[in-house]
Amino acid sequence: MSSTSSAARGALPRYARKLAATTALTALMAFGAAAPAVFAQTSPAAESTASRPWMNTALSASERTALVLKEMTLPEKLTLLFGYFSTDNQWQKTPVKNYVYPEKGLPFSAGFVPGIDRLGIPAQWQTDAGVGVATQTSPTPRQRTALPSGIATAASWNPKNAFAGGAMIGNEAWMSGFNVQLAGGMNLMRDARNGRNFEYGGEDPLLAGVITGNAMKGIQSNNIITTMKHFAFNGQETNRFTIDHKISDQAARQSDLLAFQIAYEIGDPGSIMCAYNRVNGFYACESNYLLNEVLKQDWGYKGYVMSDWGATHSTIPAANQGLDQQSGWAFDRSNYFEGALREAVNNGYVSQARVDDMAGRVLWAMFDNGLFDNVVKGDQADKIDYAAHAKVTQTGAEEGIVLLKNTGVLPLAKTAKSIVVIGAHADVGVLSGGGSSQVYPIGLSPVKDEFGKGFPGPKTWYPSSPMKGIQARTKANVTYLDGKDLNAAAAAAASADIAIVFAEQWTGESIDAPDLNLPDNQDALIAAVAKANPKTVVVLETGGPVVMPWVDNVAAVLEAWYPGTSGGEAIARVLTGEVNPSGHLPATFPASLDQTPRPILEGDVKLDNDSHPHSDYNIDGAAVGYKWFDKRGAKPLFAFGHGLSYTTFQLSGLSAQASGKSLTASFTIKNTGKLAGAEVGQVYISPVGDAGWEAPKRLAGFEKIMLKPGKSGKATITVDPRLLATFDSASKTWNIKAGDYKVILATSATEPLSEVIVHLDAQTLNVKGQ
Ligand code: BGC
């Protein structure tokens, strides 16, 4: 794996390494140190609204913000604009100068912003991230429920599932004493090797926007602020602190920014985290274009922008170009938003009005999301309903598992006498993705860290065993082999009725996968097993797409992603048919890297002798993922939207009506098989003439319908007009070109079933698509 240099990670050596953690644990035991106390806070709601009129819940968040803001001194306003990393320096391998652990922070968490007791403004306790309540590297991690990875949730194509998962992890965060969750990973998959693809929602602006938007909405149903991130174009981890992504405004608005815009409109996140990278020459956290123009002016965003941990690079440019809160001190080179910001305000380089705007945005998000009215009560994790939450994550995993290939070997035959399970520690657990989003399971990892190099490790498995799940559901004799000895694996496969190879690709923040092959000789393992037994099933636990040189020789392939803390059970239920798979790919699986826009990961090389690495996102522009494949006529290994079932469906009755800015499409799905199951009807639009689109077609809507055998369900989708338009940068309008458009009903980007033609009149919409 190619890794970003640790020096480039900023002043603070990010996370305690394995050694440091061990040393720290010994120190903790030796000195009997207690974990830093969680500070209980008197409920400001108890204060009289006469002395604190902003506590009047009958007023709007904007009115309440204005009332409290006018009581605040400049130092108080600045207090809200400066956040601390919240992991004690003593745990760091190399303690960092100037870093003072915030006493009121929650231990081993991402961040803390002090409150102001005088005015009853609560502190902000920040936790990562998208699959649950994370813990920074620690000898005593919090043990919580983890959802399947973000990409797995996107693979469910089910907004309700995304909301339910968000609501569950938001509850755990609040019960753990947090009121800001750094969740809402929303970067489009522009590179299948991106080490953080597992945290995001795939390659399509509509699907990723709808899924992440609903996940954020779920989180924020808990009196918690959620944080859409990483704004924007944080498309790879290699050189993430310096890389400059070049992209035109039009391509940006029709791709990654559209995904963010849709997610923002649905999820209404109180905060948005600007990214590490540069965009068109400017750091994302001091990009006037991204923060002031697109986000605040064009979209009308009222919440605040926080920096990623170590992504602030200045005081005056950052504040004036739209950054509201510096996060995670001391990851940055300097505490830009502390004394220096005060001086800049006193000297007039940053206006008083701008500081009011910055503090006002933080306060508005806090009022709007209930942080004043339902103050977190500290750690009440003992009251979390883990049994109920295990069901939520299990359902999420089951909805997101994608059956990629099946020649009939699945569901596992009840008559099988012997099944050999091989590899990926499937005897004891399932894999999770690494980095700041790491959630530790109840009971901790059943497997010792195999990465051994600190962040983004430890490589962590969740104690939910697929093998035990299979054993409990079949009469077969189920045995396990670790798969390290290929000959032994092949011999065991030859003498078993069915062989199931579990293959894994561990990915994590800060490192990209070097290529799309499964690591550690697993391709050879699968090939050897498949040669020995034609009834070989492959279960993948990967961060994103991988290539499958053995695919023609195996009987079935199941993509289980990182399936979360009930993932083993979910996989077993799908393999045995207790659950009918219904996931569909949220990203194209390329046949090879050569098919992708940047076969060489840019940023690994310094192009044009530039002083910092850059990558050209104008190569694909808005034609991300399947759009790129369509445009180039390239045949992927598995297409965007693909996913099989154990039953059969008939999709029919497609009709479409256009009127003004609105286009609706209806269709019917019938379960024509013998098992209950869910199918995702996908509607793509393709201009008949040249409408100036980036690619031949776009996903315009989808609906997942659960059906009993013989039953039918009808879906009507309304197409977002931005998905019919192109963006004009000069006038800042979305424009639909008059003409005929194909409305295509499909089960994947390459499996069209029927089409109708509609005529659209020319339309001009404003920058919000209205
Ligand atoms: C990550 C963010 C995360 C933050 C706090 C950064 O390294 O990029 O996603 O929220 O750390 O842990």
Residue 11, pLDDT > 60, answer: no
CA 162 to ligand 1 center in whole angstroms: 21
Distance CA 536, CA 556 (A): 7
> What are the tens digits of pLDDT across the range 716-733?
999 999 999 999 999 999
Residue 740, pLDDT > 50, answer: yes
Supply the pLDDT for residue 96: 60
Pocket test for ligand 1, best of 128, 233, 329 (most atoms within 8 A of CB): 128
Nearest-atom number in ligand 1 for the CA of 126 is 5
pLDDT average, residue stretch 413-432: 96
pTM: 0.94
Nearest-atom number in ligand 1 for the CA of 134 is 12
Residue 5, pLDDT > 60, answer: no
| Inter-residue contact 460 to 222 (CB < 8 Å) | no
pLDDT average, residue stretch 137-162: 96
CA 632 to each of CA 248, 619, 695, 721: distance values in angstroms, whole numbers, following the listed order: 20, 12, 9, 26
CA 342 to each of CA 116, 338, 352: distance values in angstroms, whole numbers, following the listed order: 17, 7, 10
616 is catalytic: no
**Looking at 38-52, 258-272, 465-479, 550-564, which range is the least confident one?**
38-52
Distance CA 56, CA 249 (A): 43
The DSSP annotation for 718-732 comes to: EE-GGGG-EEETTTT
The residue contributing the CA closest to ligand 1 atom 3 is 436
Distance CA 137, CA 362 (A): 28
Residue 32, pLDDT > 50, answer: no
CA 508 to ligand 1 center in whole angstroms: 12
| Inter-residue contact 199 to 152 (CB < 8 Å) | no
- 94 falls in which pLDDT band (50, 70, 90)? low
CA 244 to ligand 1 center in whole angstroms: 19
CA 567 to ligand 1 center in whole angstroms: 25
Nearest-atom number in ligand 1 for the CA of 111 is 5
Residue 493, pLDDT > 60, answer: yes
Pocket test for ligand 1, best of 230, 308, 511 (most atoms within 8 A of CB): 308
Higher pLDDT, 78 or 1: 78
Beta strands in 395-508 (DSSP E): 402-406, 418-422, 430-431, 461-462, 477-481, 498-504
Tell me how crowded residue 713 is: count the other CB atoms within 10 A of its CB.
Answer: 18
- 101 falls in which pLDDT band (50, 70, 90)? confident
Long-range contacts of 724-730 (CB under 8 A, 24+ apart): 724/663, 724/685, 724/700, 724/760, 725/763, 725/765, 725/769, 726/250, 726/254, 726/691, 726/692, 726/693, 727/249, 727/250, 727/253, 727/254, 728/250, 729/248, 729/249, 729/250, 729/253
Cis peptide leading into residue 556 (ω within 30°): no
CA 9 to ligand 1 center in whole angstroms: 11
> What are the tens digits of pLDDT across the range 236-264?
999 999 899 999 999 999 999 999 999 99
**Hey, is 328 helix, strand or coil?**
strand
| Inter-residue contact 539 to 387 (CB < 8 Å) | no
pLDDT average, residue stretch 1-12: 31
**Hey, is 461 helix, strand or coil?**
strand
Distance CA 484, CA 628 (A): 38
CA 111 to ligand 1 center in whole angstroms: 10
Token pair 């999709």 is found at 651
Supply the pLDDT for residue 41: 47
The residue contributing the CA closest to ligand 1 atom 7 is 309
CA 341 to ligand 1 center in whole angstroms: 23
Q: Which residues of 308-338 are buried (b: 16+ CB within 10 A; e: fewer)?
A: bbbbbbbbbbbbbbbbbbbbbbbbbebbbbb
The percentage of residues in the chain with a pLDDT greater than 90, rounded to a whole number, is 87
- 661 falls in which pLDDT band (50, 70, 90)? confident
Q: Which residues line ligand 1 (CB under 6 A)?
A: 110, 128-129, 182, 229, 308-309, 328, 436
Pocket test for ligand 1, best of 228, 274, 309 (most atoms within 8 A of CB): 309
Residues 6+ apart with CB under 8 A from 519: 505, 506, 513
Token pair 């149903």 is found at 221
Pocket test for ligand 1, best of 85, 237, 509 (most atoms within 8 A of CB): 509
CA 284 to ligand 1 center in whole angstroms: 15
Q: Which of the following is catalytic: 128, 308, 332, 512? A: 308
pLDDT average, residue stretch 536-561: 98
Nearest-atom number in ligand 1 for the CA of 227 is 10
One-letter amino acid for residue 377 of the chain: K
Tell me the average pLDDT of the chain: 92
CA 209 to ligand 1 center in whole angstroms: 20
Higher pLDDT, 49 or 170: 170
pLDDT average, residue stretch 546-566: 98
The residue contributing the CA closest to ligand 1 atom 6 is 309
Nearest-atom number in ligand 1 for the CA of 182 is 10
Beta strands in 164-254 (DSSP E): 180-181, 225-231, 244-246
Nearest to 276 by CA among 248, 252, 312: 312
The residue contributing the CA closest to ligand 1 atom 11 is 309
* Helix, strand, coil fractions of the chain, as percent rounded to 5: 30, 20, 50
Q: Are strands 271-274 and 304-307 parallel, antiparallel or unpaired?
A: parallel
Between vectors from CA 728 to CA 727 and to CA 729, what angle results, nearest 5°?
110
Cis peptide leading into residue 545 (ω within 30°): no
Pocket test for ligand 1, best of 182, 212, 243 (most atoms within 8 A of CB): 182
Cis peptide leading into residue 411 (ω within 30°): yes
- 667 falls in which pLDDT band (50, 70, 90)? very high
Residue 155, pLDDT > 60, answer: yes
| Inter-residue contact 10 to 241 (CB < 8 Å) | yes
The DSSP annotation for 617-660 comes to: TTTTTT--THHHHHHHT---SB-TT--B-SS-EEEEEEEEEEET
Higher pLDDT, 16 or 674: 674
Nearest-atom number in ligand 1 for the CA of 229 is 9
- 213 falls in which pLDDT band (50, 70, 90)? very high
Domains of the chain: 11-383 (3.20.20.300), 401-575 (3.40.50.1700), 647-765 (2.60.40.10)
Distance CA 111, CA 179 (A): 11
| Inter-residue contact 672 to 177 (CB < 8 Å) | no
| Cα 106 from chain centre | 24
> What are the tens digits of pLDDT across the range 110-129?
999 999 999 999 999 999 99
CA 706 to each of CA 30, 138, 406, 676: distance values in angstroms, whole numbers, following the listed order: 56, 42, 21, 7
Between vectors from CA 48 to CA 46 and to CA 49, what angle results, nearest 5°?
115
Q: Which residues of 93-120 are buried (b: 16+ CB within 10 A; e: fewer)?
A: beeeeebebbebbbbbbbbbbbbbeebb
The residue contributing the CA closest to ligand 1 atom 5 is 110
Nearest-atom number in ligand 1 for the CA of 185 is 9
The residue contributing the CA closest to ligand 1 atom 2 is 308
Nearest-atom number in ligand 1 for the CA of 328 is 5
Nearest to 453 by CA among 522, 506, 520, 514: 506
Distance CA 393, CA 331 (A): 33
CA 128 to ligand 1 center in whole angstroms: 7
